[in-house]
């Protein structure tokens, strides 16, 4: 929103008047009658609270009370909600918002705007944690033979340590999810404040990431089906799913393997969340997040390739 946008209004004589720049670029336009600005009414005077009440409540009998409609000043005639650009707020419960994330994320973020609480980011993450732990237990037996084969090459002390870690491997799920929540929430906060100049809170950005993390639950369920169907614990959902082992080991193959469609889904949801809570353009927010994601993918694969090339060859 541009703080220098003015409010274009007309008085009763039909003369064009323009008020001083306002912080709200909204035109108050009662349907079926010309706009009557406060500053142009003869009884406005000094601008006391009583005269303001007269304007909006019709105390002086000049006109009946009309509903106030909000319009944009950029030529767009669509009504604008008070919750963000193009998003109409609904009174939705938390579980209703969680459902809306999958098919109408804009309404989910519009409903939570201005009333974010710890439950709005904590409960979605706990829900994803529960799904993740369940998926881990379902695929535990599939990966057991490969793990046992690796344990045979270790000495007794290392084997006991590895078995202990394996028994508590499910703890990786909540730790990884909350780590991602905290880090990505911070990135979203910096992006909203530096790029979009938005006054948002860290809690709001945690809500954006937490809602996007709900996609991970769907991803894990799909991966469980794939693992159980193929018997391959290393099955992934990246674009390099059908590449051969030789092709997947190349730099391009690693990039394709890291490009996960579910990550793109998360980026789309976070872009909508930034638009709703930070008043950022949806396209610009989504493209900014996509660029950061690609930098993360290419940087991670590059470091992985460089690290493997510097390792000493295995003993024969």
Asked whether 38 and 52 are in contact (CB, 8 A), the reply is: yes
2 C-beta neighbours (distance < 10 Å), count: 10
Query: pLDDT digit string (tens) for 277-314?
Result: 999 999 999 999 999 999 999 998 888 888 776 755 55
Confidence of residue 41 (pLDDT cuts 50, 70, 90): very low
Confidence of residue 169 (pLDDT cuts 50, 70, 90): confident
Of residues 228 and 150, which shows the higher confidence score?
Answer: 228
What is the pLDDT, as a whole number, of residue 57? 42
146 C-beta neighbours (distance < 10 Å), count: 12
What is the pLDDT, as a whole number, of residue 88? 53
Mean pLDDT for the chain? 74
* 175 φ, ψ (degrees, to nearest 5): -65, -45
Confidence of residue 232 (pLDDT cuts 50, 70, 90): confident
Query: pLDDT digit string (tens) for 5-33?
Result: 444 444 444 444 444 444 444 444 444 44
Indicate the pTM of the whole model.
0.67
Say which residue the tokens 């404040």 belong to: 193
In whole angstroms, what is the distance from residue 284 CA to residue 300 CA? Answer: 24
Q: Smallest Cα–Cα separation from 86: which of 115, 102, 107, 101?
A: 107
As given in the structure block, the two tokens for residue 117 are 């609480």
| pLDDT tops 50 at residue 60 | no
Break the chain into its structural domains and give their ranges: 1-80, 94-310
> DSSP 3-state assignment of 239?
coil
Asked whether 183 and 205 are in contact (CB, 8 A), the reply is: no
């Amino acid at each position: 929103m541009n703080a220098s946008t003015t409010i274009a209004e007309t008085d009763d004589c039909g003369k064009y008047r323009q008020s001083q720049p306002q912080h709200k670029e909204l035109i108050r336009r009662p349907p079926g009658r010309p706009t009557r600005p406060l500053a142009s009414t003869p009884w406005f005077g000094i601008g006391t609270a009583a005269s303001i009440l007269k304007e909006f409540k019709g105390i002086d009998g000049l006109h009946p009370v009309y509903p106030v409609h909000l319009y944009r000043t950029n030529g767009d005639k669509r009504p604008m909600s008070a919750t963000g650009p193009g998003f109409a707020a609904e009174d939705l419960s938390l579980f209703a918002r969680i459902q809306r994330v999958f098919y109408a994320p804009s309404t989910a973020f519009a409903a939570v705007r201005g009333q974010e609480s710890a439950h709005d980011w904590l409960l979605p993450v706990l829900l994803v944690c529960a799904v993740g732990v369940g998926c881990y237990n379902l695929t535990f037996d599939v990966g057991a033979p490969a793990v046992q084969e690796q344990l045979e090459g270790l000495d007794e002390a290392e084997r006991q340590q590895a078995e202990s870690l394996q028994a508590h491997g499910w703890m990786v799920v909540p730790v990884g999810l909350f780590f991602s929540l905290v880090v990505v929430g911070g990135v979203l906060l910096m992006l909203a404040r530096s790029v979009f100049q938005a006054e948002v809170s860290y809690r709001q950005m945690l809500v954006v990431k937490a809602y996007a993390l709900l996609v991970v639950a769907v991803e894990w369920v799909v991966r469980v089906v794939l693992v159980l169907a193929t018997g391959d614990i290393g099955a992934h959902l990246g674009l390099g799913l059908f590449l051969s082992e030789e092709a997947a080991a190349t730099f391009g193959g690693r990039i394709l393997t890291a490009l996960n469609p579910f990550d793109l889904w998360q980026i789309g949801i976070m872009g909508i969340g930034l638009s709703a809570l930070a008043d950022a353009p949806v396209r610009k927010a989504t493209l900014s997040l996509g660029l950061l994601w690609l930098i993360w993918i290419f940087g991670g694969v590059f470091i992985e390739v460089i690290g493997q090339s510097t390792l000493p060859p295995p003993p024969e």
